[in-house]
Amino acid sequence: MTKVIGLTGGIGSGKTTIAGFFNEMGIPVYIADDGAKRVMQSAEIIEAVKTTFGESLFDNNVLNRSKLAEIVFKDADKLARLNSIVHPAVKKDFESWLLEHQSYEYVIYEAAILFESGRYKECDYIITVTAPEEIRIERVLKRDNTTRENVINRMKMQWNDEKRISLSNFVINNSNLKIAREEVVEILKILKIKQNQS
């Protein structure tokens, strides 16, 4: 039975980089955000987003994701409504992806809101990626062409590291990539030992 390793961390912690290290080591990775982008192109989801948030978020039927982000990351209620549309579809998408990867001992499920969405309950192990807040803000500003205020709003909508760590099996500090990669190797060794013991 394939074991699902949940990989999470706050915005800008470098989850995707860490997921890439696991992938290089032969472990398939499902990125929930990419899954969400895929499902949000389906007619059914587009219709639901239009009904909930209005037509003005679409240019020629293409969703303007940054406009939508600006709305939902300022309003917890609107974010919850968006999640109730997108999460069930991502869950379905992941389940069919998992069927295609059943020959692997482990897969990584990478999601920013693994805990907030409740999906962590479906994982066999959980890894939280951390980094100092200032580094995280800088990373997101470089990556997303956004404002500091937007980044901080998004951080406020997510769990803090202490809360995540309390429910995690492993923690990777991603301030230094070389050390973070070594931590990935170490986690895989521990998982192998656990696998042999079970």
Cα separation of 8 and 96, whole Å? 21
CATH number (domain holding residue 15): 3.40.50.300
Binding residues: 12-17
Q: What pTM does this model have?
A: 0.91
**Side chain identity, residue 62:** V
Domain that holds residue 129: 3-197
**What is the number of domains present in the chain?**
1
Binding residues for ATP: 12-17
Three-state SS sequence of 109-124: EECCCCCCCCHHHHCC
* pLDDT, tens only, 65-119: 888 988 998 898 999 999 999 999 999 999 999 999 999 999 999 999 999 999 9
Residue 40: closest CA among 52, 25, 29: 52
